[in-house]
Amino acid sequence: MPADEGACVVQVVSALSGKSLCTLELPSSGTVLDAKRRVQAACGTNVFRQRLLLWPAGREVEDQEVLATLPGLRLQLVRVQYADADAAAVGRLLQAAGEGAAPEVERLLRLPLQPDCSQGPEPDPGI
């Protein structure tokens, strides 16, 4: 982090228990997606399965929101289960990936579809 850039300390808590899961230090210009990537590294939950909500208001924050603009910087993590993928959804995901259509791949993964559709559902590590 550049010395002239301020830092934001973000506390991430479990949406179910309110227990602190991790505390992140990120640049104030960082985004919610940056925080999700760090949560993935710290807690093991894929960014596509994460929904972050402002604590205690419960408003979902969008990936592109800048951390410095969020009040309080205390976020609740909701872990979303993968959606059941039917053959049509798997086909759309594979086609979009094959065509290099990154926005469509991301949209489908946010359903959230299992990224490796050839395997069964990912076990939930719990909170």
- Residue ranges of domains in the chain, CATH in brackets: 7-79 (3.10.20.90), 82-120 (no CATH)
22-28 LR contacts (CB < 8 Å, sep 24+): 26/67, 27/1, 27/2, 27/67, 28/66, 28/67, 28/68
pTM score above 0.85:
no
What pLDDT is recorded for position 89?
A: 76
pLDDT digits (tens), the chain, 127 positions: 444 468 888 888 887 777 888 899 999 899 999 999 999 998 888 888 888 888 877 888 999 999 988 877 788 888 777 767 677 777 888 888 889 988 888 777 777 666 666 554 444 555 4
